[in-house]
Structure 1
Amino acid sequence: MQVWRGAGEVPADLGPTVATLGIFDGVHRGHQVVLAATVAEAEAAGLTSVAVTFDPHPATVHRPEEPFVLISSLTDRLERLAGTGLDAVLVLDYTLEFARATPEEFVRRYLVELLHAHVVVVGEDVRFGRANTGDRRTMAELGRRLGFGVEIIEDIAHPGTGRRWSSTWVRELLAEGDVAGAAHVLGRPHRVRGVVVHGAKRGRELGYPTANLHADDLGVVPADGVYAGWLIRPEHAPHDGTSKRLPAAVSVGTNPTFHGVERTVEAYVLGRTDLDLYGEEVVVELVERLRPMVAFDGIPALLDQMADDVVRSAQILGVPAPQVPGPQVPAPPAAAPRAADRR
């Protein structure tokens, strides 16, 4: 899949296309229906399929004072878009100046003149142009006047609940820690991506060394708790025999046992104490929540629970359970009122 970062990268000799547009945050099942229709329409007509998306998210441009975190980074969004079979994605820089374009100005400049759209495929909730004043009826009218076809894809609801697939639903589920539910809406496990940084190395002292990621810049991080998941090394060449995809037990929280205040994501690769991941960008996929954060009476009880977490993670992920490490148990901080379940 080609990625054009701005109008200037679109080939001058680009022929007719079938185009769609949207933020596609998370590329959930609803998005996938629209994207599949775009690809199918293009293949049937022998044309190029193109998705137009925007970066940064409009919410961060129009309301910078309000916190907003994307479900998936642009890198992951593009990876998921590539998996739909699209030929190309055009990433447009979303600015206040860009947002001033009327619906017709946007469609004429980008879909007609730049992408030579023969057909535009959109979901029934599409919005575009200044103040989101363009909708599906606007697109149909512009298609009649400017000479392209328009295919409207009606929302497809979840068969059990009747709720439409949406990024809002994914955010709600992640806020509850329901990563399995979020995976059902997304069509694959939710993931966060970040660079492994040095921590206090307390996990290593306990016999469970973890890859530590600061939770501030990872995307939507689910509720505090312990999860079964996978640690993925996207740029890793497995010449040393180490897989790119490693089973892990993942802890999300603030490390209250040792008076932690910074929220982190920590992934312990099952049975591995030899990995050096510092400075490496990794992806953590969250498959199922094992438990919330709870307080223990002491570190021995914590270690018993961590050993159980490892065994349950292995069962959920379908891998052999590793031998439980024999840790050097450190003394807890004198001022700690209770020990909690964090490395």
Structure 2
Amino acid sequence: MPRWTDLQEIPSGFGPSVVTLGNFDGVHRGHRALLGTVVREARARDARAVAVTFDPPPLAVLHPERAPVQIAGVEHRLDLMAGTGLDAILVLAFTHELAAMTPHEFVREVFVDALGATAVVLGTDSRFGVHNSGNIDTMREIGASDDFEVVELAAVGETTEGARNWSSTHVRALLGEGQVDLAADILGRPHRVTGEVVHGKRRGREMGFPTANLGGTVEGLIPTDGVYAGWLERFDLPVGDPERRLPAAISVGTNPTFDDVPVRVVEAHVLDRLDLDLYHEQVGVDFVERLRGNVRFESVDELLTQIGRDVDASRSILFG
């Protein structure tokens, strides 16, 4: 499936298409409902289903001091979007020049001229164009003059907490509280961060519980400090390989017992495995359930006892 990063990459005469626009941060169930509508509308019209998104997100350019960490890294986000059945994704670099385009300029250049839109699917609260001056009514006006239909999709969804819309803001708040299971209910899957496995202090291996430490740039929003049950996925192995997705007990934080880790670290111990060499592999860490907060133990023996309990609890959660 094509993933374009420039209008010049779009084949001449592309279209007809059904198009949508958004940041799709986290690609939660509400986003997938919108993208699913795009796909269905495209199939019904014998057209191509296309999503337009941005990297970096607009807020990171216009107001970086207010921009939150993205729930999912950009590649994970695009993979999740592609999984909805889209025929193409256009990833535009958000710049001050693009931000200065009027709603009419943006829609005509991108949706009409480049993508040959025959229909546009938007959520009720969508905004676009300079100063977010365009809305669903603006899109209808442009559609009337440029010969495309507008399909409006209202906010949808309830969570296990009751009648609350699926939203990236809600997911971010839940991850900040360590409630990864409730976040997963909105996302429709466990929350994931990704990164490269790097050498740490090897303290876990010395204690009999080796860990894969994520270093460098960790993509995705790291949940609050604590210990979690989850999974480690090895991207270098093919899908379907039994060694690709492995059960894990995951620690997030600065390791208060030893007090020598200056930054927050994500490290995953693969359950019942002492033989793995994961250094320099690209992996994903999926958070299923929080077991506890971080605690400073008075001795290594106390820490080892608790780690054993964490492993047992993780096994019970992941396998029932």
Q: TM-score, normalised by structure 1?
A: 0.89
Identity value in percent: 52
- Distance in 1 (CA, whole Å) between partners of 2:284 and 2:300 is 29
How big is the shift at 1:67?
5.4
How big is the shift at 1:216?
5.8
Q: Give the conservation status (yes or no) of the 8 Å contact 2:256–2:294.
A: no
Find out whether 1:167 has 2:168 as its counterpart: yes
How big is the shift at 1:315?
1.4
Q: Tell me which amino acid in the other structure corresponds to 1:124.
A: T
Partner of 1:82: 82
Look up the SS of the partner of 1:265 in the other structure: strand
Partner of 2:255: 255
Q: Give the conservation status (yes or no) of the 8 Å contact 2:257–2:297.
A: no
Partner of 1:273: 274
Partner of 2:300: 299
Q: Give the conservation status (yes or no) of the 8 Å contact 2:38–2:49.
A: yes
Deviations 1:51-75 (A, max 9, x none): 0011001111112344531000110
- Distance in 2 (CA, whole Å) between partners of 1:108 and 1:263 is 45
Moved more, 162-171 or 1-10: 1-10
Q: Give the conservation status (yes or no) of the 8 Å contact 2:103–2:129.
A: yes
Partner of 1:25: 25
Q: Give the conservation status (yes or no) of the 8 Å contact 1:215–1:265.
A: no
Q: Tell me which amino acid in the other structure corresponds to 2:40.
A: A
Partner of 1:36: 36
Q: Give the conservation status (yes or no) of the 8 Å contact 2:36–2:84.
A: yes
The structure whose Rg is larger is 1
Deviations 1:210-254 (A, max 9, x none): 010138633210010000111001122489x76110110000000
- Distance in 1 (CA, whole Å) between partners of 2:142 and 2:279 is 52
- Distance in 1 (CA, whole Å) between partners of 2:296 and 2:137 is 55
Partner of 2:179: 178
Tell me: CA distance 1:303–1:215, structure 2 relative to 1, closer, same or farther (3 Å): farther
Look up the SS of the partner of 2:126 in the other structure: coil
After superposition, where does 1:1-343 map in structure 2 within 5 Å?
Answer: 1-66=1-66, 68-158=68-158, 161-214=162-215, 217-237=218-238, 243-259=243-259, 260-318=261-319
- Distance in 2 (CA, whole Å) between partners of 1:87 and 1:269 is 37
Deviations 1:16-39 (A, max 9, x none): 001111010100111111111100
Q: Give 5+ residue unaligned stretches, structure 1.
A: 320-343
Look up the SS of the partner of 2:81 in the other structure: helix
Tell me: CA distance 1:216–1:256, structure 2 relative to 1, closer, same or farther (3 Å): farther
How big is the shift at 1:100?
0.6
Look up the SS of the partner of 1:276 in the other structure: coil
Partner of 1:323: none
Superposed CA RMSD in Å reads: 1.7
Q: TM-score, normalised by structure 2?
A: 0.95
Deviations 1:150-201 (A, max 9, x none): 0000111416522111100000000000000100011111000001111111
How big is the shift at 1:15?
2.2
Moved more, 162-171 or 293-302: 293-302
Q: Give the conservation status (yes or no) of the 8 Å contact 1:255–1:261.
A: no
Number of residues of Structure 1 aligned to a counterpart in Structure 2:
318
Q: Give the conservation status (yes or no) of the 8 Å contact 2:13–2:116.
A: no
Superposed structure 1 runs of 4+ greater than 6 Å apart: none
- Distance in 1 (CA, whole Å) between partners of 2:66 and 2:198 is 27
Q: Tell me which amino acid in the other structure corresponds to 2:55.
A: D
Q: Give the conservation status (yes or no) of the 8 Å contact 2:231–2:287.
A: yes
- Distance in 2 (CA, whole Å) between partners of 1:67 and 1:276 is 36
Q: Give the conservation status (yes or no) of the 8 Å contact 2:235–2:281.
A: no
- Distance in 2 (CA, whole Å) between partners of 1:97 and 1:277 is 43
Q: Tell me which amino acid in the other structure corresponds to 1:164.
A: N
Look up the SS of the partner of 2:72 in the other structure: coil
- Distance in 2 (CA, whole Å) between partners of 1:31 and 1:48 is 18
- Distance in 2 (CA, whole Å) between partners of 1:266 and 1:138 is 48
Q: Give 5+ residue unaligned stretches, structure 2.
A: none
